[in-house]
Structure 1
Amino acid sequence: MQKRLFILLVLLGQSLLGQGVHNFGNLQLHSKGSLGFHTDFINDSGFDENLGLIGFYHDESNLLISGNSSPVFFDFEMAVENDLYIEEPITIDNSLNFIYGNIKSDRNNKNIYTKISENAFYEGAVDMAKIDGHAAVEGQKLFSFPVGNGDIMRPLLLEFIDGTFLAKCAYFRESPDFPESFSTGFDINRKDAYLSTIHTQEFWNLKTSGMIQVTLNWNSDCNLKSIVEEIEHITVAGWNKKNEEWTNLGNFNYEGEIDEGWVTSNTFNANDYEIFTFGFLFNIKNRDSGNYALTPNGDGSNDFFILEIVEEYPTNNLMIFNREGQLVYEKTDYQNEFNGISNKKIIQKGQQLPEGVYFYILEIKAHNLKYQGYIYIAK
């Protein structure tokens, strides 16, 4: 009898308002109870001690959760043809069941999210039924965010290495170079020496703390085969907030094919990064030994640093470093003209480099190639 009275009150409130169910503090679902909303839900008071199942259902239009107070659900399911929109954070304490439709929120507002609690789980997430906006998790060591955008789901798997913290994640099907959802971009040309290129089609925004690993997945829609030929050249790239550059976070593990697979990063400090996407490693090759001797004394023998590969790939970039790791020479579209003279200010520009061992890198970005080795400069 008590359960029947509760549902009657809800239906009465819906009829009187004409704009949805409006909670002012008198609603609570008890154990083994179930309640279905076929209209909007406006929550302006405590709604955080519920048990049982609450669902949102509509075959035609969208539904909305709004109000001044964040609702907490125990078991939650949804089958909303044109998506369930939220304007306040919602929390799931036990289970989230996607039947069809997305939970949508403004991805420009990180303060509106769907949170999965420590002992909660979800099921049924697919391309057309997921979180289209920010998802959050708290108290779980391993969690796959069921996030996506539009009609695709692109989950991110997070593993905490040293403890568990609150984490928020959203997926953006935008170029990280010029994202529509951020006031500033993440320049794909600013990257460490290990990265050949950065994926320009998508990225994830993950905000958390501690030492973590992340796993990103791809499918044929990502078109990675237009960039690399082998999956071992796919890595996780993160935007370093301090250095303002893309950093290779590693491919500790990977599996699949070039059209579909996943890659897991090395362990890293989440405090340094929030933006992630796929990075692509150089295909490192050496011709012959990859090491050369240079004797720039004008006798016509070994006076110049000759790399035969530049004849095949004239569009390239050569960098030469001394033993301290300082860049002493750099040339775009190198054509075998280096004769031991520096063009950098690390020493007096235009001066002959001292005798010794130097390390070189020749990048051919258009073909994802990198050649590297050593040069010995003798007098």
Structure 2
Amino acid sequence: MKEILYILALLSTTGLAAQTALYNSGNIRIHEEGQLGFHTDLINDSTFDENLGLAGFYGVVPLTVSGAFIPLFFDVELANDNGVLLQVGLDNANNTNFISGDFLTPRNQSDVTYNFLPDAFYVGEGNFSKVNGYAEVISQQNFTFPIGDNQQLRPLILNSEGVNPSAKCAYFLEDPNNPTSFNEGFDTENRPRDMGAISTVEFWRLVGNVSSTISISWNERSNMGALTDDISTIIPVGWNKSTGRWERLGEGGAVGDLDQGFVVSAPFIPDNYEILTFGALGEPTDILDLDNYLITPNGDGLNDFLTIPELDQSPNNILRIYDRNGLKVFEKRNYVNEFNGFSNVDNMVITREKGLPIGIYFYIVSMEDLNLDFQGFLYLSR
């Protein structure tokens, strides 16, 4: 089959300068053991996905990959000190050899990614050669994203409980409170009472729907001393999309010192969180006293239900009730006066259908809207 290559001179909008590009409007194929070196831009307006061999991006002039179709290369080599800007994604089926320069993607367009397909891997990544923007992995379970910013490699290690149909990640050297790549900020003061400071230096964005753990690392630039003087308190945290606040993604266990180290999360669903970064454990949650209550569920209209008037101020709450032995007998999120002496928890409660035994019970209320926690007693009588 005859291969057709179109080399076009593309004039700039001013008409005063010219930029050459390789323009694909037909069938280009890199055969096995073949090599194609790009020293100019690629405009890919047709299928370019039956390639073997090597596609390399070379030189010192910054290059651009654009067009209507995503090119798919078998082996890729990057040796361009000024990098390659991807205005359309790029697929890699086998090996990416990072030598110098970055693959750059727009951080405000997560649909443009450097894509590692099911059997793809990479070598040579470092501060001087990486993905500066979004990298994506397709049909792989565990993967280390070779991502960073203009100056440093800042990888995120993903270990998933199953194969990811797709997972993508980017690193941001930005303050979460005022990120330039997002239309909203992520208030680092909007956190639980038992959480300390949250990084205002950097964060990652991870997209995926498979339960996973992550490992993220810090260095001197991360300024961990602003969070804590005890690395054992460092935890991974995430901005929960549904609650609009920061949450713990683990219980600590960081390794290293304040200048260099890493921390591993507990399992979580990445798509539930907008961004991820470092936080620190705070002081233990204060337990404040509310009233003690009398519950007499006998149908006379008096004290038939546990009513806590203060919860009107915090519709986003959790009520838990325990017996004197510490057995949880009732739990309700967004509680509105439902408890009438019957257990709703699947446990060892005896004679469940007749209601809980008469006696003293212990309750804990978490008022999440107000970052407050309360405890008290109630006496159940009939």
**TM-score interval for Structure 1 and Structure 2 normalised by the shorter chain:** 0.7 to 0.9
Equivalent-residue separation in structure 1 for 2:289 and 2:55 (angstroms):
64
Asked whether the 8 Å contact 2:288–2:374 carries over to 1, the reply is no
Tell me whether 102-111 or 244-253 shows the greater mean CA deviation: 244-253
- Please name the residue that 1:58 is paired with: 59
Give the C-alpha shift of residue 193 in structure 1. Answer: 3.0
Does 2:39 match 1:43? no
With over 3 angstroms needed to count, the CA separation of the structure-2 counterparts of 1:323 and 1:212, relative to structure 1, is: farther
Shift of 1:57: 0.2
- Alpha-carbon distance in structure 2 between the residues aligned to 1:250 and 1:280: 11
Task: Please report how far the alpha carbon of residue 186 of structure 1 lies from its aligned counterpart in structure 2 after TM superposition.
Answer: 0.9
The 5-angstrom pairing of residues 338-377 of structure 1 reads 345=310
| 1:254 maps to 2:254 | yes
Q: Given residue 245 of structure 2, which amino acid in structure 1 is its aligned partner? A: E
Matching residue's letter, 1:141: Q
- The one-letter amino acid of 2:200's match is T
Question: Matches of 1:16 and 1:85 in 2, distance apart?
Answer: 19
Shift of 1:274: 2.8
Residue 89 of structure 1 corresponds to 89
Counting only pairs closer than 5 Å after superposition, residues 231-242 of structure 1 correspond to structure 2 as: 231-242=231-242
Cα shift at 1:192: 2.0
Paired residue secondary structure (2:7): helix
Q: C-alpha distance in 2, partners of 1:214/1:318?
A: 30
Post-superposition offset of 1:323: 9.6
Q: Which residue of 2 aligns with 1:137?
A: 137
CA distance in 1 between counterparts of 2:188 and 2:75 reads 42
| Per-residue deviation, 1:283 | 5.4
Q: Deviations over 1:22-43 (max 9, x none)?
A: 1112210011111111111111
Alpha carbons of structure 1 residues 86 and 323: separation in structure 2 relative to 1, 3 Å:
farther
CA contact (8 A) 1:323 1:357 kept: no
Counterparts in 2 of 1:373 and 1:258: CA distance versus 1, 3 Å: farther
Check whether the contact 2:227–2:279 (CA below 8 A) recurs between aligned residues. no
1:320 and 2:288 correspond: yes
Q: State the shift of 1:251 in Å.
A: 4.1
TM-score (norm 2): 0.72
- SS of residue in 1 equivalent to 2:278: strand
d(CA) in 2 for partners of 1:50, 1:264: 38
Q: Identify the residue that residue 313 of structure 1 maps to in structure 2.
A: none
Kindly state the Cα deviation for residue 357 of structure 1 after the two structures are TM-superposed.
Answer: 8.0
Gaps of 5+ in 1: 285-316, 325-343, 348-354, 361-371
Tell me by how many angstroms 1:254 deviates.
2.9
SS at match of 1:225: helix
CA distance in 2, matches of 1:39, 1:321: 70
Contact 2:233 / 2:254 at 8 angstroms: preserved in 1? no
Partner of residue 202, structure 2:
202
Partner of 2:29: 28
Identity rate of aligned residues, in percent? 35
Task: Decide whether aligned partners of structure 1 residues 374 and 82 sit closer, same or farther in structure 2, where only a CA change above 3 A counts.
Answer: same
Query: Equivalent residues in 2 for 1:155-304 (5 A)?
Result: 155-251=155-251, 253-282=253-282
Return 5+ residue gaps in structure 2 as ranges.
Answer: 11-18, 293-308, 313-359, 366-372, 378-382
Contact 1:53 1:75 in 2 (8 A): yes
Call closer, same or farther: CA 1:375–1:169 in 2, change over 3 Å. same
Secondary structure, counterpart of 2:119 in structure 1: coil
Structure 1's 15 and 165: CA in aligned 2 closer, same or farther, altered over 3 A? Answer: closer
What CA deviation, in whole Å up to 9, does each residue of 1:153-201 have, x standing for no partner?
2111111113323011111111111111111111111112331111111
User: Cα 1:345–1:55, aligned 2, differ >3 Å: closer, same or farther?
Assistant: same
Residues 320 and 358 in structure 1, CA contact (< 8 A), matched pair in contact too: no
* 1:168–1:208 contact (8 Å) kept in structure 2: yes
Paired residues of 1:97 and 1:122 also in contact (CA < 8 A): yes
> Matches of 1:196 and 1:218 in 2, distance apart?
17
CA-CA distance at 1:226 after TM superposition: 2.9
Which residue of structure 2 lines up, in the alignment, with residue 127 of structure 1? 127
Deviation, structure 1 residue 358: 9.2
CA-based RMSD of the aligned residues comes to: 3.1
Query: What's the CA shift for 1:374?
Result: 9.3
Residue 108 in 1 paired to residue 73 in 2?
no
Question: Cα distance, 1:228 vs. partner?
Answer: 1.1
* 8 A contact 2:118–2:139 mirrored in 1: yes
Query: Partners in 2 of 1:190 and 1:224 — Cα distance?
Result: 19
Describe the SS at the equivalent of 2:164: coil
Q: Tell me: CA distance 1:250–1:26, structure 2 relative to 1, closer, same or farther (3 Å).
A: same
Q: Which runs of 4+ in 1 moved over 4 A?
A: 15-18, 321-324, 355-360, 372-376
Q: Helix, strand or coil: the match of 2:250? A: coil
Using a 3 Å threshold, how does the CA distance of structure 1 residues 279 and 323 change in structure 2: closer, same or farther?
farther
Distance 2:185 2:162 in 1: 31
Give TM-score, length-normalised by structure 1.
Answer: 0.72
Q: CA deviation at 1:266?
A: 0.5
Deviation per CA, 1:40-61, whole angstroms, max 9, x where unpaired? Answer: 11111000110001101013x2
